[in-house]
């Protein structure tokens, strides 16, 4: 909700070719993707490869 309100303040009335909108959208998507993949990647990097292969 907070992010939506902040985005609304920055992008209210922005056109399709607004430079802020063009830059902000990929940056926000990259941050969301990095945040969503960080914890699973960290857990996967701590697994011993030999143990994981033996389990399969």
Residues 8-36 pLDDT 10s: 666 666 666 777 777 888 999 999 999 99
- What is the pLDDT at residue 40? 92
- What is the pLDDT at residue 11? 63
Domain ranges of the chain: 2-55
Instruction: Give dist(CA 50, CA 15) in Å, integer.
Output: 54
Please state whether 48 falls in left (phi above 0), alpha (psi between -120 and 50) or beta: beta
Instruction: Give dist(CA 36, CA 41) in Å, integer.
Output: 9
């Amino acid at each position: 909700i907070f992010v939506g309100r902040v985005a609304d303040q920055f992008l209210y009335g922005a056109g399709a070719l607004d430079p802020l909108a063009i830059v902000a959208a990929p940056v926000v998507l990259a941050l969301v993707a990095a945040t969503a993949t960080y914890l699973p990647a960290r857990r996967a990097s701590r697994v011993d490869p030999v143990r994981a292969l033996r389990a399969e």
